[in-house]
Amino acid sequence: MLEVRDLHVQYGRLVALRGVSFSIAEGEIACIVGPNGAGKSTTLLTVSGVLKPTRGEVIYDGKPISGLSPEAIAGLGVTQVPEGRHIFTGLTIEENLRVGAALRRDRDETRKDMERIYETFPILGQRKTQAAGKLSGGEQQMLAIGRALMSRPKLMTIDEPSLGLAPKIVDRVYEVLTELRASRGLTLLIVEQSSERALKAADRLHVLRNGEMQLSGRAADLKDGAEVHKAYFGFTKEHSGEVMI
């Protein structure tokens, strides 16, 4: 469904990605893990068209999309849940969801989708006329996901859904994401710092460090964690090994 080929991205003279390649099959949950500054967010921003690659391309449904504007890419069914959620705090919850449907013209269907999101996240339905800024962190993350769903994405990219949330809430977020894959056939590309959580949630794992892909593989094959650890940190786990990030 999505193929990233030899992606090079620079911020001015600072090189963020040097030749990153990976692909995602339809209906898959793919996680990109890696330490700070590895280029995880850069990868997502390039997929959604906010950043332009200096070399390489992003191919979605067989067509190159790396030259398109963010709005155009969103129109093709690739929606991003940005890092730090970026909900519209001054707008009401309902307005946040309406903005998510900014590209749609089918009013009745949009209405139905909104009701469906209120069913998935009852808390949003109960408080739909309140300012979104009044929601708790976990609720805001649910709203950000709900807003992304309003565009009826085929591929949803999520940047650090666990950022600043209590572990229990993070569990709930991943539960919701797994449910969404099952109920809507959604393909998910998730950026995550914790390789442990990524191994639990993902079908396929990609480890990124220093702008280069260190390791890609099926999560099931990487379960014991040693390879991931080496790819993540650049050295093998010499001590007992019960601690993993």
Which residues make up the interface to another protein (CB under 8 A)? 48, 50, 69-71, 74-75, 79-80, 82, 86-91, 95-96, 98-100, 102-103, 123, 126-127, 129-130, 136-139, 147-148, 151, 165-166, 168-169, 172
- H-helix or E-strand containing 7? strand 2-11
* Helices and strands in the chain: count of H runs, count of E runs: 9, 10
Nearest residue (CB) to another protein, 110 versus 195: 110
SS3 (DSSP) at 97? helix
Minimum CB separation of residue 11 from another protein in Å reads: 15
* Torsion of the alpha carbons at 209, 212, 215 and 217, rounded to the nearest 10: 120
Q: Tokens in use for 115?
A: 């009701």
Quick one: which of 198, 196, 227 has its CA closest to 214?
227
Enter the DSSP assignment of 92: B
Cα separation, 80 vs 40, in Å, equals 13
Return the number of the residue (166 or 220) whose C-beta is nearest another protein: 166
Q: Which is nearer to another protein, 120 or 195 (CB)?
A: 120
Q: Return phi, psi of residue 56, to 5°.
A: 90, 175
Q: How far is the CB of 104 from another protein (least distance, A)?
A: 9
Return the number of the residue (123 or 180) whose C-beta is nearest another protein. Answer: 123
Closer residue to another protein (CB): 38 or 81: 81
In the complex, what is the shortest distance from the CB of residue 206 to another protein, in angstroms, rounded to a whole number?
22
Q: 25 or 103: whose CB is closer to another protein? A: 103
Q: Closest separation between CB of residue 129 and another protein, Å? A: 7
> Quick count: other Cβ atoms within 10 Å of Cβ 177?
20
- Rounded Cα distance between 149 and 238, Å, is 43
Distance CA 126, CA 128 (A): 6
CB of 21 to another protein, least distance (A): 24
Nearest distance in Å: CB 78, another protein: 10
In whole angstroms, how far apart are CA 196 and each of 39, 58, 156, 161? 19, 28, 21, 14
State the minimum distance, in angstroms, from the CB of residue 168 to another protein: 8
Which H/E stretch holds residue 6? strand 2-11
**Nearer CB in complex with another protein: 86/218:** 86
